């Protein structure tokens, strides 16, 4: 359940970054790239916290691949294809 919540929050944040950047006079791609960089940092910290809590690195890596790629892909698609 936590994974779905984090992915949903990531998708909402990705759309927010893309639309905010376009309203601030920047390109949508710049907003998407900023989101992807910050989202990667969040996912890396969350990954290391999970490993530190006792979960195996293989399990954490599998989950965090989804946690990172789905919102990052959403940001890229929003920047490329939404008006």
Q: pLDDT tens digits for the chain (83 residues)?
A: 989 999 999 999 999 999 999 999 999 999 999 999 999 999 999 999 999 999 999 999 999 999 999 999 999 999 999 88
The pLDDT, as a whole number, for residue 24 is 95
Distance CA 72, CA 55 (A): 24
Indicate if the alpha-carbon torsion angle 22, 24, 27, 29 is positive or negative: negative
Indicate if the alpha-carbon torsion angle 67, 46, 3, 53 is positive or negative: positive
pTM, to two decimals: 0.93
The pLDDT, as a whole number, for residue 75 is 96
Distance CA 75, CA 77 (A): 6
Indicate if the alpha-carbon torsion angle 43, 49, 51, 53 is positive or negative: negative
Total residues found in the chain within this entry: 83
The pLDDT, as a whole number, for residue 53 is 95
The pLDDT, as a whole number, for residue 82 is 83
């Amino acid at each position: 359940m936590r994974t779905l919540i984090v992915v949903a929050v990531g998708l909402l944040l990705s759309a927010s970054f893309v639309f905010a950047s376009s309203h601030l006079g920047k390109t949508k791609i710049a907003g998407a790239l900023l989101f992807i960089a910050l989202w990667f940092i969040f996912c890396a910290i969350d990954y290391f916290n999970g490993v530190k809590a006792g979960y195996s690195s293989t399990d954490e890596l599998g989950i965090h691949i989804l946690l990172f790629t789905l919102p990052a892909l959403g940001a890229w698609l929003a920047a490329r294809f939404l008006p």
